[in-house]
Amino acid sequence: MKTVLQSPVDPDFVQDPYPFYHSARAHGDLVYWEDYRKVAAVSHKAVQALLKDRRFGREVPVEFQRPAAAHLAPWLNVEAHSLLEAEPPRHTRLRALVMRAFTSRGIAALEPSVLDLCNTLIDRFPSTPFDLLDAYCTQIPVITICRLLGVPEQQSPDLLRWSHAMVAMYQASRTRQTEDEAANAAREFTAFLSDYIEKRRSDPQDDLITRLIEAEEKGEKLSRDELVATCILLLNAGHEATVHSLGNGVKTLLQLGLDPRTYDIDELVEEILRYDPPLHMFTRYAYEDVEIYGHRFKRGDEVALLLGAANRDPSVWNEPDVFEPTRPVVTNTSFGGGLHFCVGAPLARLEMRLALKILFQRCPSIRLSAEPNYSNTYHFRGLTRLTVKA
């Protein structure tokens, strides 16, 4: 297996990781990424196979679990009860509860609300250059998730602050300050949700928090910690990916001078997700000794699945570095796959379709006012700002 070197915080890599992915893929389906000290899957077929292979999973095998630093306890407690980090049978029970809120009918019912929100936000655009991420891309998913959960929309600035601090733990640029901020955010977020859950117990509403509470009380054994962790996951995952997908997509469209109104919106969204996805790495642990793609994994070995590399695999997409909104849709890896396929994918796609459609209908002359730069947040991929003139 080829060993490759590439710092994930190198400025050139942060701005454009795709040349590295191509060079790594030239050595095969798997490479050893020295900077992460782990095997990385870089081809579409390897990433898809490992996402679906039940011999690999998210939970650390019990004999490899180690005591964690005390200062991370609040953050780790949320992680320990998260659907994202669970495997069956716990994952099966949690996912079944969450999926009740993400039915096709439930997602479709949100469309009028999302449309109204998009128009309201556009009405507030200033006449001078502004950051579209803050004014539009961030607001749509976070306010929609607030409405879905039943959390007051005026709480969204706090929710965003907590969310940003918590997900920063997955960044290559993580520091002790990152850890302290994440722990504080987890503590405050948990306290807020615990209080809010108690309010919903005495004043149930037609929202996801109420439905999760009712499921707990009907004997499905959703613990308080699981209930809090599920709500946090839905907000964190439910807005972070959509913000980056929208921002990266609008940037690409504006740089290429493309008008979304001239393309099939569903095909356009899939190409945005393929071309410049919001999450570039997802990891798995081997649960048994297994040989795959010429490498023998031992139980406890961790493997990095490079979603961004898989989406640019030339064996699947012709000229993968070309943004082509009319190309036939082939399943990309941007929402993961297998047991942990993103439960919020239908909602994210709905938000992207509506947000792009309304933005370019209302602002046909929108243009970039400054060169966009990507944030040093790998394995997330998102912009620091998206300054535009509408």
Q: Quick: pLDDT tens for 344-378.
A: 899 999 999 999 999 999 999 999 999 999 999 99
Going 112 to 116 to 117 to 119, the CA torsion angle's sign is positive
Q: Quick: pLDDT tens for 195-249.
A: 999 999 899 998 888 888 887 555 666 788 988 998 999 888 878 889 999 999 9
Question: Taking the domains of the chain in order of start, what are their residue ranges?
Answer: 3-389
Q: Using CA atoms, how far apart are residues 240 and 156, in angstroms rounded to an integer? A: 13
Of 384, 387, 380, nearest to 170 by C-alpha is: 380
Cβ 280 vs Cβ 172: under 8 Å: no
Cβ 94 vs Cβ 222: under 8 Å: yes
Q: Quick: pLDDT tens for 14-25.
A: 999 999 999 999
Domain 3-389, CATH? 1.10.630.10
Q: Using CA atoms, how far apart are residues 88 and 319, in angstroms rounded to an integer? A: 39
Q: Average pLDDT per run of 10 along the chain, which is 390 residues long?
A: 97 98 98 98 98 96 90 94 91 83 80 97 97 97 91 91 94 94 97 92 89 69 85 86 96 96 95 97 96 96 98 97 94 92 91 97 97 96 97
Quick one: how many helices (H) and strands (E) in the chain?
Answer: 16, 11
Q: Using CA atoms, how far apart are residues 231 and 212, in angstroms rounded to an integer? A: 9
Determine how many CB atoms are found less than 10 A away from the CB of residue 242: 26
Query: Three-state SS for 105?
Result: helix
Query: Three-state SS for 39?
Result: strand
Give the H or E element holding residue 296: strand 295-297
DSSP annotation string for 297-344: EPTT-EEEEEHHHHTT-TTTSSSTTS--TTSPP---STT--GGG--TT
Q: How many CA atoms, within 13 angstroms, populate the side-chain half-sphere of residue 258?
A: 21
